[in-house]
């Protein structure tokens, strides 16, 4: 599936019986948003700058502490 939000399974990438998981992920990474399902998705713009900075600060802190 393109996305778990595509509940009608209208936008498929292919069959996992015919491609590897890696190929499926690579194929998905090449796609862009599909207006039909993405335009009203509440996941878009979910992570604001503040959240992103907190995660980065935590990641850097964990790396420094080892
Ligand atoms: S924006 Fe929403 S519907 Fe679109 S790919 Fe991301 S999670 Fe799925």
Domain ranges of the chain: 1-66
Q: What is the predicted pLDDT for the residue at 56?
A: 93
Q: Are 3 and 33 in contact (CB under 8 A)?
A: no
**30, two tokens:** 């090449």
Find the mean pLDDT for residues 12-32.
91
Tell which wins on pLDDT, 46 or 5.
5
Cβ neighbours of residue 55 closer than 8 Å, sequence gap 6 or more: none
Report the C-alpha gap between 39 and 36 in whole angstroms: 6
Q: Which of 48, 8, 14, 15 is nearest to 31 (CA)?
A: 14
Q: What is the mean pLDDT of the chain?
A: 90
Report the C-alpha gap between 19 and 24 in whole angstroms: 7
| Closest residue by CA, ligand 1 atom 1 | 38
Question: Does position 62 have pLDDT exceeding 90, yes or no?
Answer: yes
Q: pTM of whole model > 0.75?
A: no
Q: What is the predicted pLDDT for the residue at 36?
A: 93
Q: Which residues line ligand 1 (CB under 6 A)?
A: 3, 5, 33, 37-38, 41, 43-44
Q: What is the predicted pLDDT for the residue at 6?
A: 92
């Amino acid at each position: 599936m393109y996305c778990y939000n595509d509940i009608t399974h209208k936008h498929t990438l292919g069959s996992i019986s015919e491609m590897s998981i890696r190929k499926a992920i690579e194929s998905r990474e090449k796609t862009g948003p599909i207006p039909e399902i993405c335009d009203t998705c509440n996941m878009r713009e979910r992570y604001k700058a503040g959240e992103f900075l907190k995660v980065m600060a935590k990641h850097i802190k964990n790396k420094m502490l080892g």
